[in-house]
Structure 1
Amino acid sequence: MSEADANKDLLEALNSVNEVKIGDVVKGEVLALDDNKQVIVGLEGTGVEGVVPFKELSTKPGEDIEESIKIGDVFDLVVISKIGSDKEGGSYLLSQRRLEARKVWDEIEKKFEAGETITAPVTQVVKGGLVVDAGVRGFIPASMIEDHFVEDLNQYKGQTLELKIVEIEPSENRLILSHKEIVKAQREAKKAETMAKLTAGDVVEGKVARLTSFGAFVDLGGVDGLVHVSEIAFERVDKPSDVLKVGQTVKVKVLAVDPEKERISLSIKQTLPQPWDQVAEKVAEGDVIEGTVKRLTSFGAFVEVFPGVEGLVHISQISHKHIATPNEVLTSGEKIKVKVLSVRPEEHRLGLSIKALEEKPAAGVSENKKRRPAAKPTISNAPEESTGFTLGDLVGDELKKNDK
C-alpha cells in the first residue's frame, strides 16, 4: 500500500466519527457497567464510546440488568444525542428500548396501511378508556371498546384484545385503537352464519336478550329472534316480564326466517307439551273443577280449566233460571266451579256446567216467569134470571146495531 493510500484510509477512519448522527442506528459492544446505572459501550467502526442508561435497555420488569448483560455483548442502538464536544473523547447517549419501539412503530404502520389488525394485552384502566401494550403504548377510548355502553372497564384489565388501528402518529407516540370495530365485524359474520343455517321448524336454544311489551328477543348466537307475547305460553301472558327474565336460557321453535329483513320469528309455547294431549288424564265426566271465565259470548261462557285448555258452559248450563245473556250472571276473570259434562280432547272440546252444581228450584211458578195475561171476558152461562137479560135480547140488540 502506498503512503497516499494509507493516509486516505486514515482520513476516512477519522471522518467516520463525524458520520454518527442523531437518529442513526449503530452497533454497540458492552465495555462496562458503571455505578451510575448505565452501560458503557464502544460504537463499532467509530472509535468512540457511548452510554446507555439502564432505563433505555429493553429489559423485562424485575430483570437483573447486571446478570442479563455481559461484557462483550453486542446489540443495536439508536443515537439519541451527543455528549460533549471533543472529537476524539466525545460520547453519545444511546437507547436500545427506543430502537425497538421504532421497529414496532414501523410494523404497526405497515399493518395500518394494509388494513390488518393487531392484538395487545390491556395493562391499565384510565379515565376515558384502556391502555394496551402493543410494543408501544396504545389507547382504546371507552366509546371504542364495545358496540354497547360498558359501565365497568376494570373487567378488561389483563385481557388480550384484537384491535383495529384507528390513528397512528409515531412522532407523537400516538396510537388510537378500537375493539368495537372487531366486535361489530364478528357479530355481523356470526349473524350471517346463523341466518344461513336456520330454517322454519328448527328447535334451538337461545338466551333472552331483551324484553318488551309485545314480546321477547332471544339471542340465537349473533342474531336475535322475536318471540311474540302470544307465542310465549299456551295460557294468556299479559307481560313477557311476568314469565321470562333477561339471560334466561329457553328452547324455541323457528316459525319463519326472513334473511333480507334479518327477522326471525320464534315460539316458546310450540316446544311445550300440547295442553289438550293431557286433558283425558287430568279430568273425566262428572268431575268438579275450578276455572276462570275467559270469554263471554251470546251463547255461553268459555272457562279456562287448565293452562291453554278452555271449556264451554252453554247458556243453558249457566243457571236454572232463565237468562238472556251470560254476562247477566258472569264476569270475565271470575273464578268459578264447574262440572264436567263431556270430554273430547281430539276435538279440543270440553262441555261444562254451572247449574249442575246448584240446587234445582222447587216446582212452581218461577219468580221471573212472566205472568199470564188475564182471560178475555166471555158471555156468561149464568141462568137468565140471574142477569136480567135473555140470550135473545143480547143477540137481538147486536143485530139492531149492525142494521143501523
Structure 2
Amino acid sequence: MSEYNENQELNEEVGSTQENGEMTMDDMLNAYPPLEVGDTVQAEVLAIEDNQAIVGIKGRGVEGVIPYKELSAKPFDEVTEILNVGDVVEVVVIKQIKDKENGSFLLSKRRIDAKVVWKDIQEKFENNEYIEAPVKDVVKGGLVVDVGVRGFVPASMVEEYFVEDFSDYKGKTMKFKIIELEPSENRLILSHKAVAMADKAAMSEERMATLVEGDTVEGTVARLTNFGAFVDLGGVDGLVHISQIAHEHVATPGDVLTIGEKVNVKILSVDQEKGRVSLSIKDTLPGPWETIADKAPVDSVHKGTVKRLTSFGAFVEVFPGVEGLVHISQISHQHIATPHEMLQEGQEIEVKVLDVKPEEHRLSLSIKALQEKGNDVPVEEDYTDSYQADNEDDSSFTLGDVLGDKLKELQDNE
C-alpha cells in the first residue's frame, strides 16, 4: 500500500469519527506511534531522485530519505541496482530532519544490510571458514577490503613474503581468513597470508606423499644458506647440504647455484613426520672418477694441490673431486721421516701417475719420478709403524699402497 493510500484511509476514518464527534485533530496526530532514532521500520520506495530514494514509512504517516551512501553495504553504480519504485525495504532511522514539513527522517538501508553481513561473518569466523572479497583500496599499513563491511589486511598479513609495493593488489579478489572481528566497533581484521600458508601446508603434505627415496626429480633453487640450498620440489622444500652440491669442494652454495635455477636432485631421505627431505645434486652428476682413466693414464704428468698430509704420505687433488696418494717413499729420492719435511697443505706441485684404478677410486702418484736421483741412499725403516691414518684418509688405499716400495723390496730380499 502506498503512503498516499494509507493517509487517505486514515483521513477518511478521522473524518467519519469527527462527524460522529468521536475523534479530534489531536486524536489524528496521535494516531501514529512515535518514531525514534534507531527504530527499524518498513519503508516503501515512492520515488528515486538525485541518487537517493524517497520512501514512505509504513504505519507512521511520514516520509523519509535514504541517501546514496546509505543505500547498500555493497558497491553499486546506479540506485536502481539496489532499489526501484514500489519496493518495500527494511531501514533504520538515523535522525529526524526537523526543517522538513511533516517531519521527514533520514534513513539507512546500508546499516540493516551491515547487520546481516556481520552475522554472516561471525558464523564464518566460528566455523573457521574463509571469505572472498575484492581489495577496495591500498592504504598506509595494508589493504582495505570490501566484504559488505570494511575489512583491513595489515601489510604483514598479506603474503608469506615481504611485499614492497601493494598497488597491484587494488581491485584484486582474494581469499582471507578472519583474524579478529568486533561489530560494535566496525572492526574486521583479515589475513591472506594465513590462507596461503594453509594452502601451502596442504599441498606440501600431498606432495610429500609422492616423494620416494632414491628417485631423481627436478626442482627449483628457492633459498641459499651458508650450509646448503633449499630446493622447491613443487610445494615441498628439500635441503641440499653443501657437501651434496658438487663432487668438488664448494666454499659457499652461491658460488655454484643461483635462486630460481632449475636443478636435478636425488632424494636421499624423506621424513614424513618432520616434513624434511634431504637431497643431493652431486649424485645426479657424472662422478669425477668415471673418466679418470682417460684423463690421468699411467705415466701422465699433472699439476695438483696438496690437500692432506699424513704420516705415510700426501693426498694430492689433481682434478676436482679426485685425490691421489703420493706415498712417503714417492716424495723424494732422499730419506724423509715425515711428508711435512718436504710438503705443506695447499702447495701446488707436479706429480706423475703410477697407477689408476677408477672402480676403487684409487690413484697412485709420484713426485720423485719427476726428479733426478741423488747420490744418497734412503735408509731402510719399518713403515708399518708410520701407518696411523684414520679410516677417512686411507679408505681407498690398501696396506700395500701405504707401505709402497719398501714392501716390494722386502719381498724381493726374501
Q: Distance in 1 between matches of 2:320 and 2:156?
A: 47
Which position in structure 2 is the counterpart of 1:42? 56
Which position in structure 2 is the counterpart of 1:378? none
Which position in structure 2 is the counterpart of 1:52? 66
Identity of aligned residues (%): 59
The answer as to 2:39 corresponding to 1:18 is no
Q: Distance in 2 between matches of 1:32 and 1:323?
A: 109
Q: Distance in 2 between matches of 1:193 and 1:233?
A: 30
The offset of 1:201, in angstroms, is: 0.7
- For 2:249, the aligned partner's letter is R
Q: 1:75 to 1:275 in 2, by over 3 A?
A: farther
Per-residue CA distance 1:181-219 (angstroms, 9 max, x = gap): 323322332332233222211222333344444333333
The answer as to 2:214 corresponding to 1:201 is yes
* Larger displacement relative to structure 2 (226-235 or 204-213): 204-213
Which position in structure 1 is the counterpart of 2:285? 272
Per-residue CA distance 1:237-294 (angstroms, 9 max, x = gap): 2333332344443322111222233332221211111221122333323322222222
Which position in structure 1 is the counterpart of 2:253? 240
The offset of 1:47, in angstroms, is: 4.9
Q: Distance in 1 between matches of 2:179 and 2:84?
A: 43
Which position in structure 1 is the counterpart of 2:128? 115
Q: Distance in 2 between matches of 1:195 and 1:58?
A: 47
Q: Distance in 2 between matches of 1:31 and 1:62?
A: 18
Which position in structure 1 is the counterpart of 2:328? 315
Say which of 21, 42, 47 aligns to 1:31.
47
Counting only pairs closer than 5 Å after superposition, residues 371-382 of structure 1 correspond to structure 2 as none
Q: Determine helix, strand or coil for the equivalent of 1:41.
A: strand
Q: Distance in 2 between matches of 1:241 and 1:123?
A: 41
* Larger displacement relative to structure 2 (225-234 or 99-108): 99-108
Q: Determine helix, strand or coil for the equivalent of 1:276.
A: coil
Q: Distance in 2 between matches of 1:336 and 1:297?
A: 17
> What TM-score do you get using the length of structure 2 for normalisation?
0.73
Which position in structure 1 is the counterpart of 2:369? 356
Q: 1:84 to 1:17 in 2, by over 3 A?
A: farther
Q: 1:294 to 1:86 in 2, by over 3 A?
A: closer
Q: 1:308 to 1:84 in 2, by over 3 A?
A: closer
Q: Determine helix, strand or coil for the equivalent of 1:281.
A: helix
Q: 1:158 to 1:290 in 2, by over 3 A?
A: farther
Q: Which has the larger radius of gyration?
A: 1
Which position in structure 2 is the counterpart of 1:171? 184
Per-residue CA distance 1:348-396 (angstroms, 9 max, x = gap): 22232222333344xxx43x879xxxxxxxxxxxxxxxxxxxxxxxxxx
Say which of 203, 216, 219 aligns to 2:229.
216
Which position in structure 2 is the counterpart of 1:341? 354
Which position in structure 1 is the counterpart of 2:152? 139
> What TM-score do you get using the length of structure 1 for normalisation?
0.74
The offset of 1:50, in angstroms, is: 1.9
Q: 1:72 to 1:228 in 2, by over 3 A?
A: closer
Kindly indicate whether the alpha-carbon contact (under 8 Å) linking 1:120 and 1:134 is maintained by their aligned counterparts in 2.
yes
Q: CA RMSD in A?
A: 3.7
Q: Distance in 2 between matches of 1:316 and 1:13?
A: 128
Which position in structure 2 is the counterpart of 1:289? 302
Q: Determine helix, strand or coil for the equivalent of 1:264.
A: strand
The offset of 1:330, in angstroms, is: 1.8
Q: Determine helix, strand or coil for the equivalent of 2:119.
A: helix
Q: Determine helix, strand or coil for the equivalent of 1:80.
A: strand
Structure 2 segments unaligned to the other structure (5+ residues):
1-11, 18-22, 380-414
Which position in structure 2 is the counterpart of 1:92? 105
Q: Distance in 1 between matches of 2:350 and 2:83?
A: 96
Kindly indicate whether the alpha-carbon contact (under 8 Å) linking 2:203 and 2:235 is maintained by their aligned counterparts in 1.
yes
Q: 1:15 to 1:305 in 2, by over 3 A?
A: farther
Q: 1:31 to 1:261 in 2, by over 3 A?
A: closer
Q: 1:159 to 1:101 in 2, by over 3 A?
A: same
- For 1:26, the aligned partner's letter is Q
